[in-house]
């Protein structure tokens, strides 16, 4: 299992990096990095968080050009906004605090944003899920 303090060395990454780590209380910590832009976000339920993000990435550009995924993390939430623009995916992660949880995107603040080749987004997500599943934490749907 990966831990946030072992995610170093991403400053020079030219390809999207995504890592998942299950917390002792069953939550999830996710590290995101690309070209020196990196952050760590979290969710209260690791299984639900991984499933919803993986499903969103899989349907982006195939069934829908924009997908939103909410990761509840009481008292607030992290919201992933994924948009397809040709062969590029725009990824924005915002945090909404308790006072605006469930509200409009504009009410939150951006914690990470980047444009990546869509194939890299799918690959990064599937690689992170495979590493996570290898730890015995999760069985992805086909």
Has residue 140 been placed in a domain? no
Has residue 57 been placed in a domain? yes
Has residue 141 been placed in a domain? no
Q: Phi-psi region for residue 35, left (φ > 0), alpha (ψ -120 to 50) or beta?
A: left
**What's the Cα-to-Cα distance from 83 to each of 93, 112, 118, rounded to whole Å?**
12, 14, 10
Has residue 142 been placed in a domain? no
* Residue 80: alpha-carbon gap to chain centroid: 7
Residue with tokens 């605090």, as numbered in its chain: 97
What is residue 4's DSSP assignment? G
Q: What is the pTM of this model?
A: 0.85
Residues 48, 49, 52: CA angle, nearest 5 degrees: 80
If one counts the domains in the chain, the total is: 1
Largest CA distance in the chain: 40
Question: What would the pLDDT profile of 33-65 be if each residue is shown by its tens digit?
Answer: 888 788 999 999 999 999 999 999 999 999 999
CB neighbour class for 23 (10 Å; exposed up to 12, middle 13-18, buried from 19): middle
CATH number at residue 93: 3.30.2450
Q: How sure is the predictor about 6, in pLDDT bands with cuts at 50, 70 and 90?
A: very low
Question: What would the pLDDT profile of 93-137 be if each residue is shown by its tens digit?
Answer: 999 998 887 788 889 999 999 999 999 999 999 998 888 887 766
Round to whole Å and give the CA distance between 39 and 31: 6
Print the domain residue range for 31: 4-134
Has residue 139 been placed in a domain? no
Has residue 117 been placed in a domain? yes
Has residue 73 been placed in a domain? yes
């Amino acid at each position: 299992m990966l831990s946030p303090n072992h995610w170093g060395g991403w400053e020079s990454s030219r390809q999207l990096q995504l890592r998942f780590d299950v917390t002792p209380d069953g939550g999830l910590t996710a590290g995101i990095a690309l070209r020196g832009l990196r952050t760590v976000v979290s969710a209260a339920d690791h299984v639900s968080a991984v499933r919803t993000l993986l499903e969103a990435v899989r349907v982006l550009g195939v069934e829908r050009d924009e997908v939103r995924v909410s990761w509840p993390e009481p008292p607030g939430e992290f919201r992933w906004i994924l948009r397809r623009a040709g062969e590029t995916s725009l990824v924005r992660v915002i945090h909404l605090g308790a006072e605006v949880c469930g509200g409009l995107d504009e009410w939150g603040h951006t914690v990470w944003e980047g444009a990546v080749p869509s194939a890299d987004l799918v690959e990064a997500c599937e690689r992170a899920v495979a590493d996570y599943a290898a730890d015995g934490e999760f069985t992805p749907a086909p």
